Amino acid sequence: MAVSRETFQSELERLQEDLLRLGTLVEEAIYKAVTALKQQDADLARQVVEGDDVLDRMTEEIEGRCLELLALQQPLARDLRVVGTALKIVTDLERMGDHAVDIAKVTLRIAGQPFIKPLVDIPRMAEIARSMLRDCLRAYVNRDVKLAEEMIERDHEVDHLYNQVFRELLVIMMEDPKTITQATHLLFVAQYLERIGDHATNLAEWVIYMATGERKELNV
């Protein structure tokens, strides 16, 4: 039996609140993961790894509720976009959380080792990626297409920093083969952050779709 229109709108609001809660937890996981890396804090890294179960449960709950909304009531075109966008956004958020866990696992592997280079660009990548996520969530709430479109410039900045980290670590590995193991781990961290930026760009594209009904490819 179809739910009432009023109940349906209330469920959409609840869905938005839960997505924002998940997004906030993902941003926190990214922050903790990179902080753990910088400080070589194994306990903090383990917190991030253990917290992945919470993110996974929230993801499953949100996905289940989206499917229930689609089953209980045939949404209007705009509402269908809202629910469909939520399904896409929750997938990108879950993957961003997975990358935070990947970074934490790197910290556990290299904890206690002196860094082969100061960590400057990697924390900067994380800062930009987190700001992208925060603004994507704000754009989602406010249906702010302009703010969503601005994500691409910051994604380019993350990509630039990734390329810089890649070149610097490659030179270090070539000069001293003993650095290869740690350099490889740091390259993975930079790659995870670059992917987080890509997922944030995906979020922005889905916000634009939800607000306008048009698919706009930002990362071209």
The residue among 73, 63, 71 whose CA lies nearest residue 6 is 73
pLDDT tens by residue, 100-131: 999 999 999 998 899 999 999 999 999 999 99
| Total-model pTM | 0.92
Greatest Cα-to-Cα distance within the chain, rounded to the nearest angstrom: 69
Supply 192's token pair. Answer: 């995870």
Give the Cβ contact number of residue 139 at 10 Å.
24
State the pLDDT at residue 1. Answer: 43
Which of 31-45, 183-197, 206-220 comes out lowest in average pLDDT?
206-220
State the pLDDT at residue 128. Answer: 97
Domain with residues 5-212, CATH architecture: Up-down Bundle (1.20)
Using pLDDT thresholds of 50, 70 and 90, give the confidence band for residue 95: very high
**pLDDT over threshold 70, residue 219:** no
State the pLDDT at residue 10. Answer: 83
Give 24-29's long-range contacts (Cβ < 8 A, gap of 24+): 24/137, 25/51, 25/54, 25/55, 25/58, 25/97, 26/55, 26/93, 26/96, 26/97, 26/100, 26/133, 27/130, 27/133, 27/134, 29/55, 29/97, 29/100, 29/101
